[in-house]
Structure 1
Amino acid sequence: MDDDPDDDRAAGRPEPAGRDEDAPRGGGLTTGEVARRLGVAPTTVRTWDRRYGLGPDAHTGGRHRRWTAADVARLERMCALTATGLPPAEAARLARGDTPADAPPATGRAVTASASAGARAPGRSRAGSGLRLGDVRQECKGIARAALRLDAVALEELLLAAIAEHGLVPAWTEVIMPTLQAVGRKWESSGERYVEVEHFLSWHVSGALRRSARPVAADRPGAATVLACVPGENHTLPLEALAAALTEHGLPVRMFGGALPVESLVAAVRRTGPAVVGLWAQSRTTASRPLAQHVAAMEWGVRGARRKAAVLTLGPGWAGQGVSGLPRPAGLAEAVALTRSLTQG
């Protein structure tokens, strides 16, 4: 892939001689200092220099090269543009200012919008250090690059932009989940490497989900939905996505997160009297039929008008462990549609 700035390092190709300049000198920053400031590898800075002509404008004598403030600003623009998912070659052209005379200058937000408008990038894409994403939307590449660089500002902006552009369910299904799965595959195939990237991405996804939808007050008794992971289950992100998607539709949600003890779940259901209870299980070892049956049998309210909650068994852990009479939505969109029907009906 000609547009992957880390291909040379990943493939083990030697770097050009005479460009190892981490000893500080006057007249500008070293490549190592620039890389640390940008949050990228020094190899990436050198590759952008060699491949796309983004090196220092002025050369000092000897083997050492120095980067001025203008040089660094150009590289910062390159980082911002690639973070949107723009191919590095095109990002470099814009960073250098190689635009037609009658074309308006591109901004980071403008590139984000144009990238969001594109349905899917052609072919199979990669981001950063060989992170294979498959046939995905353009935004996935930008999010993956920001995650690999551990760039908190760019990652947050890109996640929120994807949710605002597409809506929460499409953003989760077509942008966020493919990127999370690609990072997970990279972690599984690389030993202990990239664990920090997975944690970093997951934390920012969780924050973006919470910021994208405000809590909704219940306008009548029995209108709320209770969401919780079953005891022993700590994989909360898909449940957080459902909570955010329901509030996006104006539905009140009581979210209790990971590994809620049985006694606490029962107490929460009795105190809130929900229309729907969603129980998330990521693995079969945590999915509990007796728990789901117990919650489904719970009643509350005055005698003669007692009510029960509809219980949804959510997540792959319930596959093959289904409870008779309790629905198991296949995905986020189906879970949202079913919850809306049950609460509004």
Structure 2
Amino acid sequence: MCRLTSSGVPPAEAARLARRATGTPPSVVGVPEQPRPRSRAAGTLPLGDVRQEYRGLARAAVRLDAPAVERQLEAAVEQYSITGAWQEVMVPALHAVGRKWASSGDRYVEVEHLLSWHVSTALRRYTPSAAPQGAASAAGPVVLACVPGEQHTLAIEALNAALCELGLPTRMFGAAVPGEALTTAVQRLGPVAVFLWAQARSTASLALARHVADTSWGVKGARRQPLVVVGGPGWSGPAARELPRPPTLRDAVAILSGAIATAGTGEQR
């Protein structure tokens, strides 16, 4: 029963299966070939309709059970792909831990740190070191960066992994990229798109986003500019109307892969 509940099975269902097992080893009680259920009971955290795997991941994190966290992240990615695992398992667990920490003073911060580190490790593990070279790379890569002063990188790590999973070229610059360095990188790389992440309103800079969007390269008469896409709750002001701001990882992948496909046909901005 402990094994089942730690993997996300609700306690009542785990008890029923354990009683029915009649000596069967716990590792085979769960009948893995059956569809994994979704649970609507979120306890004190009203997260709505979430996958069972999220519960197992959150419980393992609260126990600081690093091997179990690693196993469950690996299983989630293998079953649902990067995008599905991020949206339906990783993000709900991260939000739950964050809310628990926010409502409990300084308690549970170690849980959030452990879970974030393992999520980052899992995302990088499933990110190829380089996307296959082919027709798509001729359009230029997608540049991924956090705006100056922004240290939260998990979302762009997930986006980088999801794009690489599709074989699309990216350049990841990570946290708190200075504006001048970002402009220089855009001029050197000639990217088809630039994705800027801002977790807080205090770091989101519409002026920087506009400057990047106006950055051009190439020979006279055939100069190009990148599509600038923004992400994160920091862009909830005018940028939400002025620039593309996909609400989910799946939407961001669709916009950026579409930009690469369009650029590859010669219909560049």
TM-score class normalised by the smaller sequence: 0.7 to 0.9
The equivalent residue for 1:153 is 67
Kindly indicate whether residue 21 of structure 2 is the aligned counterpart of residue 99 of structure 1: yes
Structure 1 CA distance for aligned equivalents of residues 245 and 45 of structure 2:
32
The correspondence for 1:222, drawn from 130, 139, 156, is: 139
Change (3 A) 1:299 1:218: farther
Structure 2 CA distance for aligned equivalents of residues 210 and 145 of structure 1:
23
Structure 1 CA distance for aligned equivalents of residues 234 and 200 of structure 2:
4
The equivalent residue for 1:310 is 227
- Partner SS state of residue 85, structure 1: coil
The correspondence for 1:299, drawn from 216, 225, 229, is: 216
Deviation at 1:325, TM superposition (A): 5.1
Structure 1 CA distance for aligned equivalents of residues 21 and 138 of structure 2:
59
- CA RMSD between the two structures: 2.5
- Alignment deviations for residues 184-242 of structure 1 (CA, whole Å, 9 cap, x no partner): 11000000000000111111111111112313144334331000000011111111111
- Alignment deviations for residues 144-164 of structure 1 (CA, whole Å, 9 cap, x no partner): 111011111110110111111
Structure 2 CA distance for aligned equivalents of residues 140 and 180 of structure 1:
9
Q: Which moved more, 1:313-322 or 1:183-192?
A: 313-322
The equivalent residue for 1:283 is 200
The equivalent residue for 1:84 is 7
Change (3 A) 1:154 1:231: same
Structure 2, unmatched stretches of 5+, are 263-269
Question: Does 1 or 2 have the higher relative contact order (CA < 8 Å, sep 6+)?
Answer: 2
Q: How does 1:203-218 map to 2 (within 5 A)?
A: 203-214=117-128, 215-218=130-133
- Partner SS state of residue 106, structure 2: coil
CA contact (8 A) 1:132 1:182 kept: no
Change (3 A) 1:262 1:190: same
Kindly indicate whether residue 158 of structure 2 is the aligned counterpart of residue 241 of structure 1: yes
The correspondence for 2:53, drawn from 136, 139, 142, is: 139
Deviation at 1:335, TM superposition (A): 0.7
Deviation at 1:330, TM superposition (A): 2.0
- Alignment deviations for residues 93-128 of structure 1 (CA, whole Å, 9 cap, x no partner): 777x86258xx64527x849458x32412x4134xx
- Alignment deviations for residues 51-104 of structure 1 (CA, whole Å, 9 cap, x no partner): xxxxxxxxxxxxxxxxxxxxxxxxxxx654332112346556777x86258xx6
Q: Once the two structures are aligned, what percentage of the paired residues are identical?
A: 54
Structure 1 CA distance for aligned equivalents of residues 218 and 26 of structure 2:
60
- Alignment deviations for residues 239-287 of structure 1 (CA, whole Å, 9 cap, x no partner): 1111111111111111111111112111221221110100111111111
The equivalent residue for 1:270 is 187
Structure 1, unmatched stretches of 5+, are 1-77
- Alignment deviations for residues 286-325 of structure 1 (CA, whole Å, 9 cap, x no partner): 1111111111111112222221111102111111131775
The equivalent residue for 2:76 is 162
Structure 1 CA distance for aligned equivalents of residues 74 and 188 of structure 2:
34
Change (3 A) 1:151 1:264: same
Structure 1 CA distance for aligned equivalents of residues 13 and 93 of structure 2:
22
- Partner SS state of residue 21, structure 2: coil
Structure 1 CA distance for aligned equivalents of residues 30 and 174 of structure 2:
35
Structure 1 CA distance for aligned equivalents of residues 238 and 198 of structure 2:
11
- Partner SS state of residue 208, structure 1: helix
TM-score by length of 1: 0.68
Structure 2 CA distance for aligned equivalents of residues 323 and 125 of structure 1:
31
Structure 2 CA distance for aligned equivalents of residues 98 and 119 of structure 1:
18
CA contact (8 A) 1:279 1:314 kept: yes
Kindly indicate whether residue 167 of structure 2 is the aligned counterpart of residue 253 of structure 1: no
The equivalent residue for 2:267 is none
The equivalent residue for 1:197 is 111
Aligned residues: 259
Change (3 A) 1:319 1:154: same
Change (3 A) 1:237 1:114: farther
Change (3 A) 1:306 1:218: farther
Residue 343 of structure 1 aligns with an amino acid whose one-letter code is I
Residue 63 of structure 2 aligns with an amino acid whose one-letter code is R
Change (3 A) 1:113 1:211: farther
CA contact (8 A) 1:228 1:260 kept: yes
Looking at CA atoms only, which structure, 1 or 2, has the larger radius of gyration? 1
- Partner SS state of residue 194, structure 2: strand
Structure 2 CA distance for aligned equivalents of residues 324 and 181 of structure 1:
26
Residue 202 of structure 1 aligns with an amino acid whose one-letter code is S
